[in-house]
């Protein structure tokens, strides 16, 4: 089964790849609809950048960015799953009430103690991501004894916490957090070990699209990292990852369609 393609909709002025391009609700909705046309299986709507060095956004401002987009997509008849990318339970609750179906939390429910219970009450799924430190500081010399073992143990523990909070077990996903408090070597180790994460039995989401480690490998600036991003999507498919979170939906859909046809039985 090929990974689902989750299209990124950043309603932010400062995201690392496309900050400001879709910063108004109208522009974000238009972009989301274009991603649907390109073949996205789901959409991920976020109103706070979590790029390295980013500063937090107040909950009311973040909700004002994302909730109108989620509501407008439902009003336009978009039936795809919609993830809300947030660390704040209040934002998650408002977006879920507007029609979102999953919470994508880069803190795995740790930044806001109410997050897991909020998702559970709404019957929503969660994506629990690993990060080391906060976005503002996470790339300042991150260190691990064994990055794969530590990230894996963290995600297993957070998935157990989500289940204990009442989130349906089949709706608890994990994400190793490429680029979130990791060096280039850490990111490469996690990508090589994706099968370990899949083996937990939890659906795995991978977000590697256009990230800095691809620039380190290829020497390409952010907007020229399509080939590297597609290589990561292919690696995810090889490992059995459930979904890939990407900027370039059409190219990723094509890549996965071809891989699906030519893969050995």
pLDDT band at 248 (very low <50, low <70, confident <90, very high): very high
pLDDT band at 188 (very low <50, low <70, confident <90, very high): very high
The answer to whether residue 15 scores a pLDDT higher than 60 is no
| Averaged confidence pLDDT in the chain | 93
Contact by Cβ (8 Å): 155, 128 = yes
What was the pLDDT predicted at 211? 95
For this structure, is 245 an active site residue?
Answer: yes
Contact by Cβ (8 Å): 207, 178 = yes
- C-alpha atoms less than 13 angstroms from C-alpha of 59 in its C-beta half-sphere: 11
Q: What is the pLDDT of residues 55-109, one digit of tens each?
A: 789 999 999 999 999 999 999 999 999 999 999 999 999 999 999 999 999 999 9
Catalytic residue among 210, 211, 225, 242: 211
Question: For residues 43 and 8, what is the distance between their CA atoms, to the nearest angstrom?
Answer: 6
Q: What is the pLDDT of residues 120-165, one digit of tens each?
A: 999 999 999 999 877 666 567 788 999 999 999 999 999 999 999 9
Per-residue H/E/C for the chain: CCCEEEEEEECCCCCCCCCCCCCCHHHHHHHHHHHHHHCCCEEEEECCCCCCCCCCCCHHHHHHHHHHHHHHHHHCCCCCCEEEECCCHHHHHHHHHHCCCEEEECCCCCCCCCHHHHHHHHCCEEEEECCCCCCCCCCCCCCCCCHHHHHHHHHHHHHHHHHHCCCCHHHEEEECCCCCCCCHHHHHHHHHCHHHHHCCCCCEEECCCCCHHHHHHHCCCHHHCHHHHHHHHHHHHHHCCCEEEECCHHHHHHHHHHHHHHCCC
What was the pLDDT predicted at 138? 55
Q: What is the pLDDT of residues 56-71, one digit of tens each?
A: 899 999 999 999 999 9
Domain total of the chain: 1
Structure tokens at 178: 């490429």
What was the pLDDT predicted at 100? 98
Tell me how far CA of residue 258 lies from CA of 36, 99, 197, in angstroms: 19, 33, 25
Tell me how far CA of residue 51 lies from CA of 15, 18, 105, 252, in angstroms: 6, 11, 14, 22
pLDDT band at 50 (very low <50, low <70, confident <90, very high): confident
Give the Cα-Cα-Cα angle 239, 243, 246 (nearest 5 degrees): 110
For this structure, is 182 an active site residue?
Answer: no
Q: What is the pLDDT of residues 227-246, one digit of tens each?
A: 999 999 999 999 999 999 99
What was the pLDDT predicted at 21? 67
The answer to whether residue 52 scores a pLDDT higher than 80 is no
CATH code for the domain of 190: 3.20.20.20
The b-or-e profile of 34-48 (16+ CB within 10 A means b, else e) is ebbebebbbbbbbbb
What was the pLDDT predicted at 94? 98
Q: Give the domain extent around 127.
A: 4-262
Please tell me the pTM assigned to this model. 0.94
The b-or-e profile of 81-95 (16+ CB within 10 A means b, else e) is bbbbbbbbbbbbbbb
């Amino acid at each position: 089964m090929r990974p689902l393609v989750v299209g990124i909709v950043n309603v932010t002025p400062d995201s690392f790849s496309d900050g400001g391009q879709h910063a108004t609700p109208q522009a974000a909705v238009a972009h989301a609809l274009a991603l649907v046309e390109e073949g996205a299986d789901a959409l991920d709507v976020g109103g706070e950048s979590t790029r390295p060095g980013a500063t937090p956004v107040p909950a009311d401002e973040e909700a004002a960015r994302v909730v109108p987009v989620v509501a407008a997509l439902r009003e336009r008849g978009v039936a795809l799953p919609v993830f809300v990318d947030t660390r704040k339970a209040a934002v998650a609750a408002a977006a879920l009430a507007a029609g979102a179906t999953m919470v994508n939390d880069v803190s795995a429910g740790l930044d806001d103690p109410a997050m897991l219970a909020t998702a559970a009450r709404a019957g929503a799924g969660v994506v629990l991501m690993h990060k080391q430190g906060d976005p503002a500081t996470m790339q300042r010399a991150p260190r691990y004894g064994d990055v794969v073992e530590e990230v894996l143990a963290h995600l297993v523990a957070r998935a157990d916490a989500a289940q204990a909070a009442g989130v349906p077990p089949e709706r608890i996903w994990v994400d190793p957090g490429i680029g979130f408090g990791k060096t280039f070597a850490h990111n490469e180790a996690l990508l090589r070990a994706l099968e370990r994460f899949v083996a937990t039995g939890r659906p795995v989401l991978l977000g590697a699209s256009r990230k800095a480690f691809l620039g380190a490998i290829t020497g390409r600036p952010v907007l020229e990292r399509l080939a590297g991003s597609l290589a990561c999507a292919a690696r995810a498919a090889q490992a059995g990852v459930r979904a890939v979170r990407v900027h370039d939906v059409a190219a990723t859909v094509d890549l996965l369609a071809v891989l699906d046809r030519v893969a050995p039985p």
